[in-house]
């Protein structure tokens, strides 16, 4: 029975964390702001146990610190777990944080993906290389049909770039897949991705895939850099 009650509290806990996370990252709860478990219990009409779970989750994300004397204190952005999906999502939802978050994610992607593409040209399996070719063809086809904001385009684009990171066989690069995917989701969600992405730029996906098929590391890295430059130019982020 205890396990069932624990499961049933999860949607409520997630809702509370969403509210508090958005308020903290947006600055509505500024750095240094303090509150207590009692405040949480009163505000959300929750038990002290659920309030404590929320506190622990916020602590793990680096958003707050807790002490017996002060209670919960909002921490500066330098302490946040900025690679966590929840923190990224809350920052993207915030009008104040969104531009900086998109810029940081773009810069992360620019730094990581070309190196991953270079490694993928060496380490990808034949099956992975063939899959990249098929995904590239789908991306170009949908771009030519002005489907840049369609679910099908996003699905193919996410799969392509996630596969490049995975095929690099660098476990640290692969761990960055989710943050990099977040910028790709965010550009569609917040109207940054055009319906008609430049087809010539999208065709670079095919060049990159061909370089991986032919194990040409230099060409794969160059194609990735050109692709990212082209995407950054037409999205203007």
Give the pLDDT confidence of 145-180 residue by residue, as tens digits. 988 888 899 999 999 999 999 999 999 999 999 999
Q: For the chain, what are the domain ranges? A: 2-79, 97-235
Instruction: Dig out the tokens for 209 from the structure.
Output: 């895939």
In CATH terms, the fold of domain 2-79 is: Arc Repressor Mutant, subunit A (1.10.10)
Residue 204: C-alpha distances to residues 90, 93, 118, 220 (Å): 32, 31, 15, 10
- Which numeric CATH code is attached to 97-235? 1.20.120.530
Whole-angstrom distance, CA of residue 40 vs CA of residue 158: 38
Has residue 194 got a pLDDT over 70?
no
Has residue 122 got a pLDDT over 60?
yes
Task: Work out the average pLDDT over 113-126.
Answer: 98
Has residue 2 got a pLDDT over 70?
no
Task: Work out the average pLDDT over 133-149.
Answer: 93
Has residue 6 got a pLDDT over 80?
no
pLDDT tens digits, one per residue of 57-94: 999 999 999 998 889 999 999 999 999 999 999 999 99
Quickly list DSSP for 64-120.
Answer: EEEETTTEEEEPPGGGS-TTSHHHHHHHHH-TTTHHHHHHHHHHHHHHHHHHHHHHH
- Single pTM value for the model: 0.85
Query: Residue 16 CB: number of other CB atoms within 10 A?
Result: 21
Has residue 100 got a pLDDT over 70?
yes
Instruction: Dig out the tokens for 14 from the structure.
Output: 């997630």
Work out the mean pLDDT of the chain and round it to a whole number: 91
Q: What is the pLDDT of residue 195?
A: 63
């Amino acid at each position: 029975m205890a396990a069932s009650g624990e499961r049933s509290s999860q949607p409520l806990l997630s809702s509370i964390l969403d509210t508090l996370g958005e308020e903290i990252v947006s600055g509505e709860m500024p750095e240094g702001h303090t509150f207590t478990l009692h405040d949480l219990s009163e505000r959300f009409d929750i038990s002290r146990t659920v309030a404590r779970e929320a506190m622990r989750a916020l602590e793990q994300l680096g958003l707050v610190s807790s002490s017996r004397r002060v209670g919960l204190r909002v921490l500066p952005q330098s302490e946040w777990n900025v690679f966590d999906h929840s923190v990224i999502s809350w920052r993207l939802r915030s009008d104040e944080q969104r531009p900086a978050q998109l810029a940081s994610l773009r810069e992360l992607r620019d730094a990581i993906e070309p190196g991953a593409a270079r490694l993928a040209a060496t380490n990808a399996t034949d099956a992975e290389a063939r899959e990249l070719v098929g995904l590239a063809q789908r991306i170009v086809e949908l771009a030519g049909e002005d489907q840049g904001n369609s679910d099908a385009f996003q699905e193919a684009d996410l799969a392509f770039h996630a596969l490049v990171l995975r095929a690099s066989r660098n476990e640290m690069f692969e761990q960055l897949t989710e943050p990099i995917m977040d910028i790709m989701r965010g550009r569609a969600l917040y109207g940054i991705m055009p319906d008609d992405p430049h087809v010539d730029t999208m065709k670079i996906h095919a060049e990159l895939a061909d370089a991986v098929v032919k194990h040409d590391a230099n060409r794969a890295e160059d194609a990735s850099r050109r692709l990212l430059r082209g995407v950054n130019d037409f999205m203007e982020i």
